[in-house]
Amino acid sequence: MKEIYVVGAIIKSQSKVLCAQRSDKMSLPGLWEFPGGKIEGEETHQEALKREINEELKMDIRASDQLFKKVTYDYDFGRVHLSAYRCELIKGTPILTEHQTVKWLEIDDLDKLSWAPADIPIVDKLKKEGI
Ligand SMILES: Nc1nc2c([nH]c(=O)n2[C@H]2C[C@H](O)[C@@H](COP(=O)(O)OP(=O)(O)OP(=O)(O)O)O2)c(=O)[nH]1
């Protein structure tokens, strides 16, 4: 099975979290995720988060050094190892380059979205612990 290493950014602003909907051109079309993507080369998780959020949403963030949660999920296209980190917004408002939509949601509203399966344990932990 193909092993795919991915980072996801839990970007907080005020009491809300940024949620992103995958587009029809991506794998898992229409499902919601924490923005981020595949780790490249030797970069750290924090470097990968900063790069991906800059590329995808043109925003500047700082990722925590502390892992929030790691989830491994077997999709038909491979095994995704998703590491999620809390991130602080430094600058910018999201400019969509890949996603279909983004939304800032309160934790209590996260359940209203259809999340990618790998994200569900992360959403559950956020609901329990807050952001
Ligand atoms: N960025 C991100 N990806 C996630 C999350 N949950 C989840 O299952 N994934 C999956 C979707 C993708 O298969 C992979 C992330 O890869 P990516 O976003 O860089 O790549 P992609 O699928 O757009 O690229 P491609 O392989 O379709 O060309 O991890 C999540 O919360 N954030």
Burial class (CB in 10 A: 0-12, 13-18, 19+), 93: exposed
Q: What is the pLDDT of residues 45-104, one digit of tens each?
A: 999 999 999 999 999 999 999 999 999 999 999 999 999 999 999 999 999 999 999 999
Q: pTM of the full predicted structure?
A: 0.96
Looking at the structure of the chain, the number of domains it has is 1
Closest CA to 125 of 81, 76, 86: 86
How much is the pLDDT for 73? 98
Judge contact between 31 and 21, C-beta under 8 A: yes
Q: Is 26 in the pocket of ligand 1 (CB under 6 A)?
A: yes
Residue 131's Cβ-side half-sphere holds a number of Cα atoms within 13 Å equal to 22
For residue 31, give the amino acid letter: L
Q: Going by CA atoms, what residue is nearest to atom 12 of ligand 1?
A: 27
Is there a contact between 17 and 115 (Cβ–Cβ < 8 Å)? no
Ligand 1 centroid distance, CA of 27 (Å): 7
Q: Which domain holds residue 96?
A: 3-129
Per-residue confidence band for 131, with pLDDT thresholds at 50, 70 and 90: confident
Our mutation pick for probing the ligand 1 site, out of 80, 100, 113, counting the most ligand atoms within 8 A of Cβ, is: 80
What value does the mean pLDDT take over residues 14-34? Answer: 97
Q: How do residues 31-54 score in pLDDT, each as one tens digit?
A: 999 999 999 999 999 999 999 999
- Three-state SS at 73: strand
Q: What is the mean pLDDT of residues 18-24?
A: 98
Atom of ligand 1 nearest to the CA of 73: 8
Query: The domain that contains 116 carries what CATH number?
Result: 3.90.79.10
